[in-house]
Structure 1
Amino acid sequence: MSVDIWSDIACPWCFIGKRRFESALEQSGLTDSIDVTYHSYQLDPTLPDHYHGTEEQYLGEMKGLEPTRVRQMLQHVTQQAAGEGLTYDFDNLKVANSFNAHRLLHLAKAHGVGSQLKELLLSAHFERGLDTNDAAVLADLAVEAGLDRATAEATIKDENAYRQDVLQDFAQARAYGIQGVPFFVIDNKYGVSGAQPSEAFEQALTQAFTEKHPAPLTMMSNVKPGEDGAVCGPEGCN
């Protein structure tokens, strides 16, 4: 069964949702039966390559939110992240456009290490205070994920590399009507929006898997001991 996840590395709830989904997948016992694929999504495509300000300033200036509201939001999401074992550091977070990181993620996906790089990028952005649109940082993270440095550097330098793959993910998100992330599509049939509690993810996974793989019939024993039920088949009746 497939699970397709749309998310942005600049989305704090996407990292939290990733942790909750992974916990649900483990608890469901379906880890070996589900193919998980991450897809690109950008919360703010208009963001400059490098925003010279804090996350609090960005949300205030670019999104028009009141400072008090911004601080409450960041405090709340930091607490929620801590509940999933994540240590968010918004004071040192580097606000940057995520398009190049998404291109690199498609390279990683093509080499079978997409999930590893996804984890590293999210941690780099929210926990480690790294600039995830800096070419050197991206190359280092790619190597840490298991990619060849020269290949990663060439991909980062070539603005057209995997560009269409990213845009195709954006287009599919629009086709599904996705307006916020994280967003989970289970077996191309069910949509789950947001960083739901692990219990909700587990229930959705179990329900979808059961529908796709219904349990075989359990044969009842003879109702009357010593007698076989009469049946008809292609060769006649007995």
Structure 2
Amino acid sequence: MDIWSDIACPWCYVGKRRFESALGQFGHAENVEVVWHSFELDPSAPVRSPVSMRDGLARKYGRSPAQAQEMMDHMTGVAAQDGLDYHFDQTQITNTFQAHQLLHLAAEKGLQDALKERLMRAYLTEGEFLGDPEVLVRLATEAGLDGAEARAALSGGDYAQAVRQDEAQAQALGISGVPFFVLGGKYGVNGAQSPEVLLGALNQVWAETHPAPLTLLGSAEVQDGCEDGQCAVPQRG
């Protein structure tokens, strides 16, 4: 399962929760490998923005501040249904390029999902400023990464190219919105679909890649036929 998403995307956090719900109901969850891929909703976003979430939405969609507030309230209500507690009034809008770099480091350490969860909660619930490298390092250590290693990866830009490769792959696949789920490298599911839709996709891909054994009809005893590469032909006398 390859998932493209952005840390600063409210629907992506909801999509993560819904996918986790679907995976919890999937009978072969232990066979599913999840890889999170980088996607920036606004690659040109400044590291520190003086604009609030409400005003940013109003400008982006041509709405009034009151209408933008209604959008945030609706999103908060949707998130709450999936157990998430959003606080858009505390959100500090920033560029997420550095955060995505750390996710690639975390993938190498088997901690990608843990860091993804920590970063999303920090941005959407706790109002952390993810544009500060030291904040990112602290959050990385809370997810289990080595702080010195995380700091060095950020200062050296070790995973900058990996982020750009993810984004180039998304463009090649025609992905223009997130979250976007790719199952088995073959099927795509766009948006924060319900757990039922995601579970159905998991079951479909599993059925296609792991066909069920044949069910033998009739007697279980071996009848006339060929087995083990041999075929006894009765002789006529």
Smaller-chain TM-score range? Answer: over 0.9
Judged with a 3 Å threshold, the aligned counterparts in structure 2 of structure 1 residues 128 and 15 are, in CA distance, closer, same or farther, namely same
1:56–1:67 Cα contact (<8 Å) kept: yes
Deviations 1:54-79 (A, max 9, x none): 11112223554332331222111111
SS of the counterpart of 1:5? strand
1:167 paired to 2:173: no
Given candidates 55, 61, 81, the residue that maps to 1:83 is: 81
2:189 pairs, out of 188, 192, 195, with 192
Q: In structure 2, what is the Cα distance between the partners aligned to 1:155 and 1:61? A: 35
Secondary structure at 2:167 match in 1: helix
Structure 2 unaligned spans of 5+: none
1:63 and 1:96, CA in 2 relative to 1: closer, same or farther beyond 3 A? farther
Offset at 1:228? Answer: 5.7
* Superposed CA offset, 1:144-196 (max 9, x none): 111111111112222x3201100000011011100100000000010000000
Q: 1:228 to 1:148 in 2, by over 3 A?
A: closer
TM-score (normalised: structure 1)? 0.93
**Paired letter, 1:70:** A
Task: Confirm or deny: 8 A CA contact 2:225 2:231 kept in the other structure.
Answer: no
Matches within 5 A, 1:110-129: 110-129=108-127
Query: 2:231 aligned with 1:235, yes or no?
Result: yes
The equivalent residue for 2:7 is: 9
Deviation at 1:34, TM superposition (A): 0.6
Distance 1:155 1:65, change over 3 A: farther
TM-score computed with the length of structure 2 as normaliser:
0.93
Q: How does 1:24-35 map to 2 (within 5 A)?
A: 24-35=22-33
8 A Cα contact 1:104 1:156, kept in partner = yes
Task: Give the distance between the partners of 2:70 and 2:25, measured in 1 at CA.
Answer: 32
The equivalent of 1:41 in structure 2 is: 39
AA paired with 1:229? Answer: Q
**Is the aligned partner of 1:221 residue 2:218?**
yes
Aligned residue number for residue 96 of structure 1: 94
Give the percent of matched residue pairs that are identical in Structure 1 and Structure 2: 47
Amino acid at match of 2:233: C
Report the alpha carbon displacement of residue 230 of structure 1 after superposing the two structures with TM. 2.0
The count of residues paired between Structure 1 and Structure 2 equals 232
